[in-house]
Structure 1
Amino acid sequence: MINNLIWDFDGTLFDTYPQMVQAFTKALNDLDIDSVEIDEHDIYVVMRQHSVGAALKKYAAFYGINESELAEINAQYQAEMVTASKPFIGSKELLDFALDHDGGNYLVTHRNEQAKTLLANYGLLDKFSGFVTSANDFPRKPKPDSLNWLKQTYDLVSNQTMMIGDRQLDVEAGNNANVNTALFDVDHTILHTGNPDIRVTSLPELLDF
């Protein structure tokens, strides 16, 4: 039985992308890019299919603006705006499932300690046994270092453990760490999946896996 769940945060546990896209748009506005020139859906797709870093690189080049400046302003807005995000439907039930079946929940995110604050705001922090955030300074996914550290630290058995994420790099990180993988693709945005063991559009679907 799979009873140990390794969670991504953005777009998996919490629906943060609306706020992330808004923050990115405001950062572009601050750098004198008019809203009529900005395609928010395209920004979202780049973030989902690739990363925020890819979006920074793409749009800095497209608009001829400084990438570092865009990144700094975006980070400031994102830290403020992402506090309005909420957990996805079914996240609490899946977290409880792991605990009710003598397993555990673990977080691997590129976000900073703010992820823990948001979990605490919704009473979810104590459902986790271990965390990897940007403060831990592991190589970024899809490198498996952070997942392997969790496996070694908490004695997680590979075939009883699943990585859940919303992007190809999450799936590849799980595959590289030799655990089960689930792609949570709520709106069928992901074209290259990384070959997950299961692909779902809602978290409750994983209860039947």
Structure 2
Amino acid sequence: MKILWDFDGTLFDTYPAYTDILYAVMEAKKDKHDISSQLKISFTHAIKHFELSDEQVNFFFDKESQMHPSLTPPFHHLREILSYSELNVIMTHKPRNEVEQILQYYGMEIYFQDMIAGDDGYPRKPDPASYQVLQDRYGIDLVIGDREIDILPAKALGIKSCLFQNQAPCADYYLSSYEEFFDTLILEK
């Protein structure tokens, strides 16, 4: 199976750390659960929802870029899936150097053959342009993401999709943990 992965919230559990940063940016004036929920839609959505200033957004990105990789661990059982799949690629809005730093910290760079990152010049999701490039290169079988904007490009290109820890009614498959991967996806293949 050839899999295109989203990064934040799909491969690595980054939302708790991002929530803490945004909580600090807003000087603890908002509920952490609400912050996390808004971030799960998209960072752009959270900026608009909380009416963040440019200064606050810049502060967030500055703190995020300084975050130690130990604050963003991979999800449990991820290595088994990455080892099983024929090919793994990443499409993320995150800057390439931040992704590479996290992958190297956990020794997981060996599992990925390619990546399109946020600073590679492609339009942001849900635009399918970056997915089309990876599809043309590798013939992707499945896209896994944690938000609707991660799988909408897959739907536009006719690629099977899976939502991780999200039950929005738009995916072909759903996983609440990677322990379920083999039962849910492999047996149906």
TM over 0.5: yes
Matches within 5 A, 1:41-120: 41-48=33-40, 50-60=41-51, 67-81=53-67, 83=69, 84-98=71-85, 103-113=86-96, 114-120=98-104
Corresponding residue number in structure 1 for 2:112: 128
- Aligned residues of 2:132 and 2:157 also touching (Cα < 8 A): yes
- The Cα shift of 1:177 comes to 2.1
Count residues with an aligned counterpart.
182
Q: Is the 1:27–1:77 Cα contact (8 Å) retained in structure 2?
A: no
Give 1:20-31 correspondences, 5 Å limit.
Answer: 20-29=18-27
TM-score by length of 2: 0.91
What amino acid maps onto 2:151 in structure 1?
A: V
Seq. identity, % = 28
Deviation at 1:16, TM superposition (A): 0.3
Q: CA deviation at 1:82?
A: 5.7
- Counterpart CA distance in 2 for 1:80 and 1:90 is 27
Tell me the distance in 2 between the aligned counterparts of 1:196 and 1:178: 12
Please give the alpha-carbon distance, in whole angstroms, between the structure 1 residues aligned to 2:56 and 2:88.
34
**Distance (Å, rounded) in 2 between the aligned partners of 1:171 and 1:82:** 28
Q: Is the 8 A contact 1:144 1:174 kept in 2?
A: yes
CA separation in 1, counterparts of 2:88 and 2:43?
25
Structure 1: distance between partners of 2:161 and 2:117: 20
Larger Rg: 1
Partner of 1:202: 177
User: Are 2:125 and 1:141 equivalent residues in the alignment?
Assistant: yes
Moved over 2 A (4+): 80-83, 190-193
Q: 1:32 maps to which residue?
A: none
Aligned to 2:168: 192
Question: 2: CA distance between counterparts of 1:126 and 1:192?
Answer: 31
Give the TM-score taking structure 1 as reference length. 0.82
Q: CA deviation at 1:139?
A: 1.1
Q: Which runs of 5+ in 1 are unaligned?
A: 30-34, 61-65
Whole-Å Cα distance in 1 between the matches of residues 54 and 26 of structure 2?
Answer: 12
Which segments of 5 or more consecutive residues in structure 2 lack a partner in the other structure?
A: none
Q: Structure 1 CA distance, aligned partners of 2:56 and 2:146? A: 24
What's the CA shift for 1:191?
5.9
Deviations 1:149-179 (A, max 9, x none): 011123x1x5xx1000001111212111221
